[in-house]
A and B are shown apart, each in its own frame.
Chain A
Amino acid sequence: MRTAVGAVALGSVLLWPGAAKAEEQPDLSSLSIEQLAQIKVTSASKQAEPLSGAPAALYVITSKDIENSGVTSLPEALRLAPNLNVQQIDASQYAIAARGFNGLQAGNKLLVLIDGRSIYTPLADNVLWQLHHPLVEDIQQIEVISGPGGTLYGPNAVNGVVNVTTKDAHDTVGAFLRGTAGPQERTAAARYGFAIGPSGAMRVYANWSDRDGLPDVLTPIDDHTRAVQAGFRSDFGGGADNFTVQGDIFHATDRQLSGDHANAHNLLARWSHALGGSTSFQLQSYYDWYGSDVTLVRQSLSTLDNEAQLNLTSGAHELVAGAGVRRTRDLFVNNLNAFELNPESRTLWIYNAFAQDRVNLTSDLSLIAGVKFERSSFVGWQVLPNLRIAYQPGANALLWAAVSKAVRTPSRIDRELQLPPVLAASTNFDAEKVTAFEAGYRGQPASWLSLSVNLFYNFYTDLRTTEYSPGGILPIQLLNGRRGRTYGVEAWGKAQVTPWWRLSLGATTLHKNFHVVADRVDFLPRNSLGADPHWQVVGSSDMDLSPKLKLTLDARAVGPLDLPPAVPGYVDAGGQLGYYLNDAVELFVAGRNLIHRTHLENGDPAAQLARRSIYAGTRLRF
């Protein structure tokens, strides 16, 4: 490995003059506008996260990063973010977390939005990654914010927010086809985008995948999964008014028993309107539904969400304020064992209102203060404040510090799961709370280098515990009996080593220190604390070997998980070699987990072995 890096580095030094020459562009100024519109171009990826972004621990995965990596699913794309820990459970399920608490049961502190639609479910407080198959080539960017996002992003953004934005329909005009095939997985995707009416554009897409089951660890589970998602996005307007209407429909047949399946659909509309001056508002509504029948357990959830937001800039103040109401109706019917939700179906409401002001105190110093008030059906009003300070000493550096509070609202499982007389419903289960102290640096010390370093120190209270009855052993109850703290460092950098070679490297550390309050016992700590690596390093190299040939390699090293059962640390790698046959046709070979035939990423009884997967594919654009 070291030899290879050496050879590449040596090559880059020897070829420097040539590479520099390659940067020279032909004179375009003599061409007419019609000629300019006919020039074939290569789109370069944007380098650094803009300093104008929020003063928070922010990592941005660009559409180019996703395409170069050769990944075909959203969870695999999230491995590109150094501030996320991604644990593959089986062929379609993942557990993903920022700053700890990772696991199928414990992974309830990361909020995930796709185009403003939350995919975090209040039934069990988790993200069912297996129900979301967006066409990864249509993703504009993924913002990964580690740290609380309670004020702006809403409930359950305790340890982080993943904000997936798909491309505006105006940016996906034309046809696109992608197919991949390999011994372990096959995918096929198509998209067609077109201008519609005088100022609109629309795309329709379909995305199909067929993934073989992973090798078993403890339980023989057939996790072979076949999924298809189709959908559309249309954008209209411009100037004062912009409208977006989009929707998806999803179906998967998979899993252990014949007849097991999952369905989902959603429809979203958004209107943004500039009121003139520097005031604008946005209204958004969506409806989302999913239902799944897996191993005799039926669950479904419908969500109706309405939000309004106002942006106002006046003098030194930049104000954003908004309000929202969300209604969910769920159903949970368990025919597998005696655990039940009582009642089986319930309607829950969440109301919120928030305001955040950024005051530019001097030309380089800003203060941001915000607060969100939120009320859910299970717990009363919660106050989620955050205070941030941003210092921008020059055009190339941002220093920031923040203190914020966020909560996880109780899920239906927390409150109403029961198995008389073994497990009693926990009608008083309260929200879990965090107070987070953060500080960071983000900057571009040289034009070819961007760096980011974040420190965090979190205090948690009222974390979930599984405890014996106060008077004896049974019934067991879920209570808020744990508190503690975590701290760590996150750092990453991206370097444009030569015009044709980009490198990125990121690392995180995590220390956890928790205790159960006064002489009580939590006998399932893993269920609420998760099992996390105390360190993780990810890196990638992205080379334009020639105008036609691109090589991207990525590698990750992940420490052992901190709670039993033992899951050892591992090192693995992936990548893509792409060849542009001509402007319309790209051929590629890609692989995930190339170093080991199999490795374990998660200790849950349901977890399977992640394994090597190699595939060849093509992307066509016309």
Chain B
Amino acid sequence: MRRLSIILCAIAAALLAPAAARAGISDTAVKAAFIPKFARYVSWPSSAPGRTNAQILICVIGDDPFGGMLNQAATGQEADGRPFAVRHLASAAGASDCAIAFVDGARTGEILAALGRQPILTVTEAGSQRGIIHFTIVDGRVRFFIDNAQAQARGLTISSRLLALAIGVNQR
């Protein structure tokens, strides 16, 4: 017991100094940076709020893994000459103004189903319920799948530059 505590102290002392060193970049920060940028490579149908609203509304529906990172990433960015706004929603109710919806948490499937065929770019991560863009980690890097058939069914057009970056693209 005593020996264990000595070992622990030694480990703690030797290693706590580097703890102050720069922490790695989290996958969440990179996902937050990606989301506003997606807007530049997606076009919404002409009547959709994603096209017509003065601000491009990014909604976080369900759990919020970003804790302010998304607001930070969206601030000062623009797409199509329009700034971004970020809104948090508990459910799909009230999501009709969203251009992009990041959906996360235990009820992802229900929320995606409730969003139905509205012209919203749905984004998801780790899990069996996937939106149009689905983040994953490959080789320690944030990558994504794109479901282009799902996008087209909602009237969204995704540029070839974004499609080229996807790991897999579901075409109609």
Contacts and interface: CB of A to CB of B under 8 A. Distances in A.
Interface in A498-533: 499-500
B19 A544 contact: yes
Interface in A1-49: 1-4, 7-8, 11-12, 15, 18-19, 21-23, 25-26, 28-29, 31-34, 36-44, 46
A50 B165 contact: no
Interface stretch (B43-51, B52-60, B111-119): B111-119
Contacts of A499: 23
Contact of B1 (A1, A19, A170, A547): A1
B1 A195 contact: no
A42 B27 contact: yes
Interface string B98-119: 0000000111011011101100
Given A41-B137, A239-B130, A313-B113, 19 more contacts: A1-B5, A7-B9, A11-B12, A25-B29, A25-B69, A33-B165, A37-B141, A38-B141, A41-B30, A52-B105, A168-B128, A171-B126, A173-B143, A198-B170, A199-B149, A239-B149, A242-B128, A313-B110, A595-B4
Given A544-B19, A546-B18, A238 B127 contact: no
Is the contact region of chain A dominated by helix, strand, or loop, or is it mixed? mixed
Interface string A156-173: 000000000001101101
A239 B22 CA distance: 39
A29 B76 CA distance: 9
Contacts of A174: 138-139
Nearest to B32: A28
B24 interface: yes
Given A276-B116, A278-B110, A168 B105 contact: no
Nearest to B88: A395
Interface centre among A41, A53, A280 (most CB of B within 10 A): A41
A107 to B, nearest CB: 28
B167 to A, nearest CB: 5
B33 interface: yes
A-B pairs with lowest CB-CB distance, top 6:
A18-B20, A199-B170, A239-B150, A546-B18, A4-B8, A42-B24
Contacts of A346: none
Interface string A121-158: 00000000000000000001000000000000000000
A235 interface: yes
Contact of B19 (A19, A272, A553): A19
- Taking residues whose C-beta sits less than 8 angstroms from the other chain, chain A's interface range is 35 or more
A559 interface: no
Nearest to B108: A52
Contacts of A8: 8, 12, 16
14 contacts: A1-B4, A4-B12, A11-B13, A22-B22, A42-B27, A44-B27, A170-B145, A171-B127, A237-B170, A238-B149, A278-B92, A543-B19, A546-B19, A547-B18
Nearest to B20: A18
Given A28-B30, A44-B26, A500-B19, A195 B167 contact: yes
B34 A36 contact: yes
